[in-house]
Structure 1
Amino acid sequence: MDCLFCKIIAGEIPSEKLYEDELVYVFKDINPEAPVHFLVIPKEHINSTDELDEAHKELVGHVFLVAKKVAHDEGLTNGYRIVNNCKEDGGQTVNHLHFHVLGGRSMQWPPG
């Protein structure tokens, strides 16, 4: 498979891993948009949010619980933002479902 995130999960491309279990892999974003910026990605290759179905309910819930755990581990006790970009118009640049977790500063609205 020619997926950047699948290669990161497989260890073929280096990353700064923060957490890993049987369902997800978490690593620091290489181009951070906030003092703390990491990605939570399912190990199962799913192209985007549009491909989620009933079978993924447990996985998506797990993603959010892991995001909360790692956010707290990274010291984000005053809040953080979780972002998912879906497909081209939504700003998705890697076709593998992923969630950005950003914090360490006040988040503005609208985001852009």
Structure 2
Amino acid sequence: MADFDAQKKDLMREVRSVLDEVEDLYEKAGDNGSDQAKALKDQLRKKLGNTKSKLSELESTIADKARATAERTDELVREQPYYAMGIAAAAGFIAGILLGRCRG
């Protein structure tokens, strides 16, 4: 989970950096010649490409972790079905009590 948090922070830092550079690039692009504007747009394109790549990696990591969690949950339910049913029944009972108190 720490690895996921570190990736999330890196991605957010990268997104902020790209947004800051976008502002700078557009401000400079209007004032400079066309060759410089093309170079600035190329820099922006590279930064956006890197950010999209990092976002894609993060999405893949999230999907993998969700899949692994679902598989493990399925294994636990199959290994101990009565335990899972007991937890579900207890959760339903507690939710019923809480809802009954709210209405009463």
TM-score (norm 1): 0.29
**Structure whose residues are more often strand by fraction:** 1
TM-score (norm 2): 0.30
Higher relative contact order (CA 8 A, sep 6+): 1
**Structure whose residues are more often helix by fraction:** 2
Task: Return the index of the structure with the highest Cα Rg.
Answer: 2
